[in-house]
């Protein structure tokens, strides 16, 4: 089976994007892992699927698979690439679209500058919404990981995040503790683990160990979650410039009951076609 795809990235968080309107294909977990494989497949952090909408008042449906093959609720850098993709492929000429995701509707808008702003919806903080095993919804909560205790803030941007403040992201133990936090028993659906360094009240540096993908060069929902967590902790004011290893995003949040707005680039790398091996197990 031959699949047409577009390789894209948002700040180096890279994607294989598939038009499932003109080719009828949604990957099985094994096919998603194959496409994401950097040696045997195309290589990416996530696979993004463009589908017809199923709800009135929306333009498209957006599905996201992590490199490990699992389908997830939300992807911020992917949302910017999504709107670029549907424009580049003539699927719409509307600069602002309404897109269904597993976790609700988001609204990405192509700016005249070529950057994209996404209304990512309201963040949620209740432990049950993450989900996080805790009796408390406090802004800062202790999490014991091996011999260390981290002060984390949990945030749902549709997908789950645990954010901590570190002195220096360059030396933060992302590789050691990221996977342990991701798979911690108190996060029954696993979690994305963010490590943020406060630069000033409007700027942070951020690294994220992503659930199902490992550390990526940038994580859009991770940037939203970190900015919101920093504002709730009284350390940051909106808007917040988020420097990742792949480049910069701007995150704005006016406070409780308000949506998070994320602005940044979306880049098409190349178009391609790939044969999917028929023997892939489901
Ligand atoms: N890279 C993404 C997030 C992708 C999903 C995440 N790994 C999860 O499992 O929730 C982004 O830019 O937000």
Is residue 227 assigned to a domain?
Answer: yes
For ligand 1, whether the C-beta of 211 sits within 6 Å is yes
β 247-253/260-264 pair status: antiparallel
Distance 212 CA to ligand 1 centre (A): 8
The number of domains in the chain is 2
**Same domain assignment for residues 64 and 158:** no
Percentage of the chain exceeding pLDDT 70: 99
For ligand 1, whether the C-beta of 164 sits within 6 Å is no
pLDDT tens digits, residue range 213-230?
999 999 999 999 999 999
**Same domain assignment for residues 234 and 162:** yes
Is residue 80 assigned to a domain?
Answer: yes
Out of 116, 210, 242, mutate this one to test ligand 1's pocket (max ligand atoms within 8 Å of CB): namely: 210
DSSP class of residue 90?
T
Q: Has 81 been annotated as catalytic?
A: no
- The range of the structural domain enclosing residue 205 comes to 127-258
Cis before residue 24, ω within 30 degrees of 0?
Answer: no
Nearest-angstrom CA–CA distance, 36 and 139: 35
For ligand 1, whether the C-beta of 205 sits within 6 Å is no
Residue 100: pLDDT band by 50, 70, 90 thresholds? very high
Distance 219 CA to ligand 1 centre (A): 6
Residue nearest to atom 5 of ligand 1 (CA): 75
Helices (H), 44-193: 76-88, 174-182
Q: Are 106 and 121 in contact (CB under 8 A)?
A: yes
The CATH number covering residue 38 comes to 3.10.310.10
pTM tops 0.90: yes
For ligand 1, whether the C-beta of 103 sits within 6 Å is no
From its phi and psi, is residue 190 left (phi > 0), alpha (psi between -120 and 50) or beta?
A: left
**Same domain assignment for residues 112 and 199:** no
From its phi and psi, is residue 22 left (phi > 0), alpha (psi between -120 and 50) or beta?
A: alpha
């Amino acid at each position: 089976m031959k699949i047409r795809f577009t390789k894209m990235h948002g700040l180096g968080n890279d994607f294989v994007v598939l038009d499932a309107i003109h080719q009828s294909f949604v990957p099985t977990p094994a096919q998603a892992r194959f496409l994401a494989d950097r040696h045997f497949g195309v290589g990416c952090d996530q696979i993004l699927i463009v589908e017809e909408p199923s709800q009135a008042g929306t333009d498209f449906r957006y599905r996201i698979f992590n490199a490990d093959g699992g389908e997830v609720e939300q992807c911020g850098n992917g949302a910017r690439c999504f709107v670029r993709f549907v424009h580049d492929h003539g699927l719409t000429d509307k600069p602002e679209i309404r897109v269904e995701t597993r976790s609700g509707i988001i609204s990405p808008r192509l700016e005249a500058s070529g950057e994209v702003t996404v209304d990512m919806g309201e963040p949620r903080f209740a432990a049950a919404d993450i989900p996080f095993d805790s009796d408390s919804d406090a802004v800062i909560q202790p999490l014991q990981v091996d011999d260390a205790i981290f002060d984390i803030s949990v945030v749902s941007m549709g997908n789950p995040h645990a954010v901590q403040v570190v002195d220096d992201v360059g030396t933060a133990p992302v590789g050691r503790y990221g996977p342990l936090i991701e798979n911690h028993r108190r996060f029954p659906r696993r979690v994305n683990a963010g490590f943020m360094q406060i630069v000033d009240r409007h700027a942070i540096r951020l690294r994220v160990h992503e659930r199902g993908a490992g550390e990526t060069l940038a994580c859009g929902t991770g940037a939203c979650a970190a900015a919101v967590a920093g504002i709730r902790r009284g350390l940051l004011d909106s808007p917040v410039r988020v420097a990742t290893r792949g480049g910069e995003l701007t995150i704005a949040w006016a406070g409780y009951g308000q949506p998070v707005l994320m602005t940044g680039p979306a880049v098409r790398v190349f178009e391609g076609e790939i044969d999917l091996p028929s023997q892939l197990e489901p």
